[in-house]
Chain A
Amino acid sequence: MAGAHTDTAFQRWFNRKGWINVTIATPYVWLVLFFLLPFVIVIAMSFATRTPTAPPFSFGGEHPVLNTAHYARLFQDDLYVRAYLTSIVNAGIATFLCLLIGYPMALGLTRVSPAWRNILLMLVILPFWTSFLLRVYAWIGLMGTNSWFNKLLTTSWNWLVPTDWALRSIPMMNTNFAVVLVMVYSYLPFMILPLYANLEKLDRTLDEASMDLGSRPFRVFLDITLPLSVPGIIAGGLLVFIPASGELIIPSLVGSARQPMIGRVISDEFASARDWPMASAVSVALLMLLVVPIMLYTHFEGKSHEKRKEGA
């Protein structure tokens, strides 16, 4: 055992209050400086006035201190309202489709043998570790009018419908359909993993008991599995919905320029129009829209932390 006399100055200082202060203060100061301060700047900027100077804003002038014109413009110019609606509808449909595909997959994962389960779980996570951009790019290749995938879909469509409806190719690129498809593809693991974590913990004996009492498998699912998995559905849904509604890359690469999503509007206002105050006001309004889902998410996360602690 090291006696007190062999302690270095660092250890002596660490052993007193020092280490507690440093462990708290270092990340605290960092986050205040590089996360909270920028956020405060965004809020302040949304009340500034755009000027042709560099940096392109000022306070005061004809609008004493607070300029609320940008928030008024959010409602006057229907570009913004439509962009918010497009974002929420696209993200909502993508979340619903993720749930529709992800739920049976997560449930299926709990029913396979442990060896298979590990391999399949790894296969769910693997795309997440490869580049996000390259996964979007893969779909650009598939959706193009000359690709094998588009030809396959076109051929099946033409076979299915009367000849008057025949198409030469299916226009998929630069539509909201493409945006939703690629968002489902990119965010599906975020739905599957929390659902799987939730479903895996369910008590199987409940299913068996209800089967023994004569319930059909689908009834068991409706009465027992589905209600018990609501926390997993909420967690997965928010993990898909929140990033999807602010998405920038997917709508920029495969989306329609005429019906932009809000992420693209913010980016364009900021970079192309150099209108910092307007970009900030649009951002603050997006956060206001997301504040309810975000609060819900942090609330449930906090709860599951508490539960884990009680279990330990």
Chain B
Amino acid sequence: MHRRSAFLVTMLCFGFAFFYVPILSMIVYSFNGSRLATVWGGFSTKWYVSLLSNRQILNAALLSLKIALLSATIATILGTMAGIALARFKRFRGRTLFSGLVTAPLVMPEVITGIASLMLFILMAEWIGWPASRGFTTVTLAHITFSMVFVTTIVHSRLSEADAAVEEAAMDLGSRPWQVMKDITLPIISPAIVSGWLLAFTISLDDVVITNFTTGPGTTTLPILIWSKVKLGVTPDINALATITVLIVGTGVAIAGFVLNRAEKRRDRDARMAYQANQ
């Protein structure tokens, strides 16, 4: 057994303090009565009231949700296809380029992806007249493109771990590709598809840089709105917004962790029982 080193425990405490003190400070100051964001002026919930009655913020949040739902769904479909293609089709024309295309967006600096997409959309409007103006469509297209590769990475690694022999056996036993896909491949990768969708959704919801370049007048997502507010200085209602975000995400992650944990335990138990029954 290893003795727990005092140094490692200290570093863990320090690290988690580093992670959470800024967030806690933000939560505390969201209940600050003072207009000055850094001076304590008594307990108050007025920033929540002003936040929830702020039409602009609510509309931006709704727009961000719509774009995130749409782009995550399309990105998941495209990304899953690409993941299956890479993991199961060993040889096809242009495979090297394809695998480069699904890795490059992961490491491309966002500024470059942003200006590249904007130039494409402007030139497309010049050449073929579509998309006519920048806004919902162009932002969604850009989000799909850079979030689908995250889905591909997750699906690809899940399928590489799974045994292709199961699918081959089903084929040998007379299943058609459609049945194999429906009954074996998709169930195997379904957890990867779910986490891929969640990741794509969060990435889209959180994106500033690429949205900043590809959006047009009238299409203000929540991060773009926060970005323009924060550039002007600290405003207390952003503290309230941050607190609500942390609350939603925290609950979501806790529930997801709990459900996954229970599912895993149940699977372990079932596997054990099946094993004992066979003995």
Interface residues of A (CB under 8 A from B): 2, 7, 11, 14-15, 19-20, 22-24, 26-28, 30-32, 34-39, 41-42, 45, 55, 101-102, 104-105, 107-109, 111-112, 118, 120, 122-127, 129-142, 144, 146-149, 185, 188, 192, 204, 207, 217, 242-243, 245-249, 252-253, 263, 266-267, 270-271, 276, 279-280, 283, 286-287, 290, 294, 297-298, 301, 305, 308-309, 312
Contacts and interface: CB of A to CB of B under 8 A. Distances in A.
Interface of B: 2, 4-5, 7-9, 11-12, 14-16, 18-20, 22-23, 25-26, 29, 36-39, 78-79, 81-82, 84-85, 89, 92, 94, 98, 101-105, 107-120, 122-123, 126, 141-142, 144-145, 148-149, 152, 156-157, 160-163, 176-179, 181, 202, 205-206, 208-209, 213, 223, 226-227, 230-231, 234, 238-239, 241-242, 245-246, 249-250, 252-254, 257, 261
B208 A35 contact: no
A129 B202 CA distance: 7
Given A15-B176, A55-B123, A132-B208, 15 more contacts: A19-B181, A28-B82, A30-B78, A31-B145, A34-B120, A108-B9, A112-B12, A131-B205, A131-B226, A134-B238, A138-B242, A188-B15, A188-B18, A246-B111, A283-B112
Contacts of A36: 101
B109 A104 contact: no
A192 B11 CA distance: 12
B29 to A, nearest CB: 7
Nearest to A41: B119
Contacts of A246: 109-112
A305 B89 contact: no
Given A108-B12, A122-B257, A246-B112, A137 B226 contact: yes
A141 B36 contact: no
A294 to B, nearest CB: 5
Nearest to B261: A118
A141 B111 contact: no
Given A45-B119, A134-B26, A276-B119, A108 B11 contact: yes
A32 to B, nearest CB: 7
A177 to B, nearest CB: 16
Contacts of B19: 123-124, 127, 185, 188
A140 B177 CA distance: 55
B250 A30 contact: no
A37 B120 contact: yes
Contact of A34 (B16, B85, B117): B117
A135 B22 contact: yes
Contacts of B5: 111, 217
Contact of A141 (B104, B177, B234, B246): B234
B119 A133 contact: no
A275 to B, nearest CB: 11
A280 B116 CA distance: 8
Contact of B163 (A22, A142, A312): A312
A263 B19 CA distance: 25
A36 B226 CA distance: 31
Nearest to A31: B101
A140 B234 contact: yes
Q: Which of B38, B115, B141, B226 has the most CB of A within 10 A?
A: B115
A53 B169 CA distance: 63
A140 B230 contact: yes
A78 to B, nearest CB: 21
Contacts of A148: 25, 38
A144 B117 contact: no
27 contacts: A7-B176, A11-B176, A11-B178, A14-B178, A15-B178, A24-B98, A31-B145, A34-B117, A34-B142, A35-B145, A38-B116, A102-B15, A111-B8, A124-B19, A130-B242, A130-B249, A135-B22, A138-B25, A138-B242, A144-B37, A146-B36, A246-B111, A266-B111, A270-B118, A286-B109, A309-B160, A312-B163
